Structure formats: structure tokens, C-alpha cells
Amino acid sequence: MIPFASRLPRLTWRAGLTSLLLATLGVANAAIPIEQWTHTSGARVHLINSPSIPMLDVQIDFDGGRRRDPTALAGLAGATAGLLSGGVAAQAGQPALDENALSEAWADLGAQFGAQATLDRFSVSLRSLTDPELLDRAVALAARQLAAPAWPQRVWQRDRERALAALKEAENRPGTLAGRTFSQAVYRSHPYGLQADAASYNAITVADMRAFYQRHVTSCRAQVSMVGAIDRAAANRIVDRLMAAVQPHGCTALPELAPVQPLQAAVDQRLPFAAAQAQVLVGQPGVARTDPDFLPLFVGNYVLGGGGFVSRLMTEVREKRGLTYGVSSYFVTGRQAGSFQISLTTRPDQAAQAVDVVREVVRQFVAQGPTDAELQAAKDFLINGEALRLDSNRKLLDNVANIAWNDLPLNYLDTWAQQVEKITVEDIRRAYARVLQPDRMVTVVVGARP
């Protein structure tokens, strides 16, 4: 029997879900309005006023991700983000707070503050209730943490020892070896392929972190994304305080990074490892998030390997041949070309056959694209699930930050489903033929048997 929902007209079903979501968020049913302006500090601000929940989520992104690590100091961005919670120095008559006192101060407010470094971004986040007194205190504490990190040597020594122990433990896993080998082969000398090791962790000093932070965490390059029960005027006042905390860092120009270069030949690495399962990775350099073919590639990947049990790779590798429990493909996108990657595990004696099947599936997909039925099924799943990707402040914030960081249109969320609906089989075939080179891919197998 056909489920009731699948018998509804596709766009009507999507519109119903989206309307329910938007009503819950307190936003007009016709759109998710994003306000955008440039703050006097140079920071670009994106805001969704969502008044139904008395909560505010803020994310500030800076161009200080792992791609900005110096070669000899791989891991510096992540270490800097981690030590940001190590305490705050005394400032403007306020006493210093060590990491325990700082953690207790956030707990007393019922608020959260954190930092992380991803491939492209150094990000800080704040979550607080919008009760005026609580929000004011939370913003003040966040501003203190941004303005005067303590950079305690004792905490870094502890964190470094933990990182070294985790690194040593990870080296005993075949997946770690496969991932490192794959990344090195795909990116070669590009910063996207830079990986922390014991030597780089031991070389990082507190002075390096302080210098990295002051160079990259600057208001002129900040992207501030905000979602919550707050209007533009109040949001701008919060940005005033947060950007004042980092504005003294100035705005030193950052060098442009060379693009990720395409592979000129296939790379095949089979590495011995005593494990019950062989780790298999196949792929190549992919595209930047701003690539005009991003959506055709994204929708096409649902058919190729992103759609779970309905994907071609799962059908051919698992269902028909029983070579794996699971196989998937995905694009890692950033400001520069990330990677296209297929991953699976299999019995060591079946690894060679699994690789052959994967390569053939990719070759056929690049040549022919999806069928009409496969494309329609992909659209149905992606469009009908759209509301579930926007059903909380946190998810909305992720989407707004994505729009801000990649300079996407402000109506991107409103038009996404229509853009997906327009994609044709030929769009996908053309995009995959342009981006993927099945005969020039990296293949890494860790644990394969001769």
C-alpha cells in the first residue's frame, strides 16, 4: 500500500511541512526572512528574528580554520580554539577566572560559549536565554572571553598530552591510517591536506596560539549569524559588544591560498594492516561550496551513494554481491575544492573485488547520470525532508552561517526546493562528467590481502 503522505502532491506535502515549521518559529509562512547588514566594525551580520522561543543562538566565523595552520604547526587552529576556554585574564577591574571558575560562570547563567576550528573557519558560538538580565550578563562574559583569553600554559600542557595520547591511540586503527593516506594523496601539498602529528603538537606554544588568535580573530573579517527572539536593533547592540572585544586585533591581510589541483593520474595504495576488516577509500578533489554545479552534484550523490539503501553503490556492492555492510559517497565542500569520497569496509580477501565494483559504478554514473525514476525519488526525499533540516534554532543557525560564509543569496532557504525541483538528468550527468574523473582517482585500501 502506498503511504498516505506519498500520495499527496509533492510540493503540497513540502509546503505543508514548511508552513508547520515556520508557524512554530513564528515566521511568516511564505518565507524565512534573513536580515543582513554590515556592522560599523566591518563584520557582516545575518539575523533571523524567531520570537517563539526565548532563546538566542549566535555564531561568529573567522577565516582562521585549519587551512591557515603553518606547515610546521599543524593543529594550531584547533589547539587555539580549545584553549580559549582555559580562562580569562583580569581586565578593566574584573578579576581573572581560571577554567573552572569560567565554566561555573557559564553554568550559573544557564548559557553556553564555545569555540572550534574546522577546515575553513575559526568559529565561536554563544547560546543564551533572552531574558534581558541573563542575556546582558552572557554577552558581557562572552566579550570578556573574546577580549582577554588567559592562554594558561598549564592547561595547554594538559591538553597537549591528551591530544598526543589520542593521536597515538588512533594510529592503531586502520581507519585513521586510511584517512591520512587518502587526504595526503588527494590534497598533496595543499593546506587542506595538512594533518597534525606528534611533532607539530610538541612544537606549538602558547605564544603561537596568541599570535594566531590575534591575526585571524578580527572584526573586519567576521561573519556574525544570529537566530532567536531578538530584533535588529538589539542584535546590533550585541554585535557592538562582541566586535569591540576583537577589534583591537586590527585587520592584517591574509594571503590567498593556491587552489586544490586536480589529479593527473590515478593513485593506488594498498597498505598491510592486521585487522578483521579492510578500510577502503576511493575519491579525488571535488568542488568548492560556491561551485555553480553544487546542487546537481548534491542531488546526484543521493542516487550514487548518499541515499543509504536506495543508492546505486549500496545496491551493487552490498545487495547484489554482499561485499560490505555499508558503503557511501559524499562531497566535502569548503571555500576551496574539498574532496569527493567513497568509503566502505569489507573482508580483506574481498577488497579488490569491492574496489572494482565501486569503480565501475562510478564510471557508469559519470557517463550516464541517474535514471528519471532515480532522480524523482531523490527529489522527493530531499524536498519532503527539507523542514526537518530547519526545525530548531540550532539548525537554522547552521543554515544562516552557511549562507553568510559562502555569500549565498538571502532567499536561498526559500528557493532551495524550487532549485532542486528544476534539476534534470542532463544537469547531473553534465556536472559529474565535468567534476569526476573515474580513471584518475585515489584508491586507498588498508588491510587488504595479496
What ranges do the domains of the chain cover? Answer: 32-249, 267-446
Each residue's pLDDT tens digit, 289-316: 999 999 999 999 999 999 999 999 999 9
Which residues are CB-neighbours of 37 under 8 A, at least 6 positions away?
44, 45, 232, 236
User: DSSP code of 191?
Assistant: G
**Distance (Å, rounded) from C-alpha 355 to C-alpha 444?**
9
Specify the pLDDT at position 315.
Answer: 97
Q: 267-446, superfamily in CATH?
A: Metalloenzyme, LuxS/M16 peptidase-like (3.30.830.10)
**Distance (Å, rounded) from C-alpha 432 to C-alpha 367?**
8
pTM for this one? 0.90
State the Cα torsion 107-113-118-120 to the nearest 10°: 180
Alpha carbons within 13 angstroms on the beta-carbon side of residue 101 total: 11
Stretch 10-38: mean pLDDT: 55
Is 12 a residue whose pLDDT tops 70? Answer: no
Query: Sign of dihedral through CA atoms 158, 161, 163, 165?
Result: negative
Which residues are CB-neighbours of 239 under 8 A, at least 6 positions away?
39, 41, 43, 45, 224
- 364 grid coordinates: 557508469
Q: Where are the beta strands (DSSP E) in 247-346?
A: 267-271, 278-285, 327-331, 339-346
Give the model's confidence band at 18: pLDDT under 50 very low, under 70 low, under 90 confident, else very high: very low
CB 194 within 8 A of CB 35: no
Beta-bridge mates of residue 62: 122
User: DSSP code of 29?
Assistant: T
**Topology of 32-249 in CATH?**
Cytochrome Bc1 Complex; Chain A, domain 1 (3.30.830)
Lowest-confidence region among 3-17, 217-231, 243-257, 267-281: 3-17
Specify the pLDDT at position 450.
Answer: 67
Stretch 181-198: mean pLDDT: 96
State residue 261 phi and psi, 5-degree precision: -90, 145
Which residues are CB-neighbours of 367 under 8 A, at least 6 positions away?
429, 433
14 or 33, greater pLDDT: 33
Specify the pLDDT at position 15.
Answer: 39
Stretch 255-284: mean pLDDT: 95
- 412 grid coordinates: 536561498
CB 330 within 8 A of CB 286: no
Of all residues in the chain, the percent with pLDDT exceeding 90 is 88
Of all residues in the chain, the percent with pLDDT exceeding 70 is 93
**Distance (Å, rounded) from C-alpha 229 to C-alpha 253?**
35
Specify the pLDDT at position 171.
Answer: 87
Specify the pLDDT at position 241.
Answer: 98
Q: Evaluate whether 32-249 and 267-446 have a shared fold.
A: yes
CB 125 within 8 A of CB 112: yes
Specify the pLDDT at position 252.
Answer: 87
- One-letter identity of residue 200: S
